[in-house]
Structure 1
Amino acid sequence: MSTPAAPAAPARPARAGRGRGPLLLAGVGGALLALAAGAPAWVDGAVQTAAGAREVVATGRQAGAAATALALVALAAVVACSLGRRVARALAALVLVAAGAGVAASAASVLLSPQAAISAPARQVSGRSDPQVLRADARAWPAVCALGGALAAAAGAGVLVRGRSWSASSRHERDAAAPAGPPTGAAAGARAAAGTAAPARGEQAPAGGGAAPAAGDPAAAWDSLTRGEDPTR
């Protein structure tokens, strides 16, 4: 007698939060990259003083103070994206996009105008409100900071596009993974009815609704003869 086939396993639901990890890691990496790039010197140059020309160096904190502040905002926005619900996540993603774009714009302005970026240190060195900057050269760190800001902004845009389905996917996966409870009502009745199966092929149900005589039981065979049945069938 063939065994019943095992029930097919339910289809595995789509993975909840698909893309969440890479996007959040990209946002954190971009913000940290922008913060780290703000520590070294961004611009070096020379300014005219009463004693002659003197070297001047402007770090990222001096030349691109806005970039450093916005990188901190971007880092906080990434944390909010990972903890907030749908509306809060969308708002945090908008902040992340804006902060990342601001970091990139602030760093790019230093690359485009290094003389303006070095003006504050030049005033301190020369002691004049309108110093004469002789030379101003931007290093590669502003470009690194701009790259980090662009990466954070791209991560925020990705959260805006794909983050709307994260909550729904998580809820569906939890529902599908929940264990099924015991059958109740009509389901239990259907299973009980299915358990009362018809006799297998080659077997014959006893007539009159009685139970089939057990093999080798003389008393049962005698009762079958009394009822007019053939116990050998």
Structure 2
Amino acid sequence: MSAPASPAPSRPRSRRGPLLLLAALGAVLALGAGAPTWVSGVARTASGTSAVVVDGRDAAPVATALALVALAAVVASTLGRRFARLLAALVLVLAGAGVVSASVGTLTHPATALAAPARAVSGTTQARLEGGAALRPWPVVSAAGGALVAVAGLGAFAASRRAGAPAGPTRHERDATRVVATPAEDPAAAWDSLTHGDDPTR
């Protein structure tokens, strides 16, 4: 008697959905962190001193731009084919790394972010700050958002590659493993074997 054909294994559920949500969350976090003040200080002017503040969009404009790029890549990944999904995942990795780099740059050199507004209020080409620069925690939040985007992009890239792999045995492989019955065991199955090109009498 011929053995029943075993069903092909189902594809594993895609993990791209949660990863893309994580990437979108990281991008929104980086964008939101760019609105508050990142660095503040006091600049010396001709008539005394003046307070200067810089938000994230001015302190690290690259981080804001790359966060927008990451959001666009999330949308593209949900609409495109496999190659487009792989490309969008790579964009997420690069954009997330760029957000982290720009945010850390402000963390390590906060006075640089105050140079332009300090020159503007002092009316000179030389930035003059009183007491250095005071750093707020928002660059850390922005860097964390960029890290989420990069990690999610790596996961989405791996998930997209797995999704393109074959899910189970092909029809030729299933036919090759078919058990042929003898006429004595099951005449009907032997007739089916003949229709498939097999000789049950051998």
* TM-score tier after normalising by the smaller chain length: 0.7 to 0.9
Kept in 2, the 8 Å contact 1:27–1:151? The answer is yes
Indicate which of 62, 84, 91 corresponds to 2:80: 84
Q: Which residue in the other structure is 2:110 paired with?
A: 114
Distance 2:58 2:126 in 1: 18
Q: Which residue in the other structure is 2:62 paired with?
A: 66
Query: Partner of 1:118: helix, strand, or coil?
Result: helix
Kept in 2, the 8 Å contact 1:67–1:103? The answer is yes
Structure 1 unmatched runs, 5+: 1-6, 174-188, 194-233
Task: Name the structure, 1 or 2, with higher relative contact order (CA <8 Å, separation 6+).
Answer: 2
Q: Which residue in the other structure is 2:21 paired with?
A: 25
Structure 2 unmatched runs, 5+: 169-186, 192-202
Q: Provide Cα deviations, 1:59-79, integer angstroms capped at 9, x if missing partner.
A: 111111111001101111111
Indicate which of 155, 158, 175 corresponds to 2:155: 158
Q: Provide Cα deviations, 1:118-141, integer angstroms capped at 9, x if missing partner.
A: 112212222222121222111100
RMSD, aligned α-carbons: 2.4
Distance 2:88 2:6 in 1: 39
Once the two structures are TM-superposed, the CA of residue 32 in structure 1 deviates from its matched residue by: 0.5
Q: How does 1:71-220 map to 2 (within 5 A)?
A: 71-134=67-130, 135-167=132-164, 190=188
Q: Provide Cα deviations, 1:138-165, integer angstroms capped at 9, x if missing partner.
A: 1100000000001101111111222112
Distance 2:161 2:108 in 1: 38
Once the two structures are TM-superposed, the CA of residue 167 in structure 1 deviates from its matched residue by: 4.6
Once the two structures are TM-superposed, the CA of residue 8 in structure 1 deviates from its matched residue by: 10
Distance 2:25 2:85 in 1: 18
Kept in 2, the 8 Å contact 1:28–1:75? The answer is yes
> Which stretch of structure 1 is more off in the superposition, 140-149 or 159-168?
159-168
Once the two structures are TM-superposed, the CA of residue 101 in structure 1 deviates from its matched residue by: 0.4
Kept in 1, the 8 Å contact 2:39–2:133? The answer is yes
Once the two structures are TM-superposed, the CA of residue 190 in structure 1 deviates from its matched residue by: 4.2
Kept in 2, the 8 Å contact 1:119–1:131? The answer is yes
Kept in 2, the 8 Å contact 1:85–1:167? The answer is no
Q: What percent identity do the matched residue pairs reach?
A: 53
Query: Partner of 2:51: helix, strand, or coil?
Result: strand
Residue type of the alignment partner of 1:112: T
Distance 1:118 1:166 in 2: 48
Once the two structures are TM-superposed, the CA of residue 82 in structure 1 deviates from its matched residue by: 1.9
**In the alignment, structure 1 residue 38 sits paired with structure 2 residue 21:** no
Paired residue total: 169
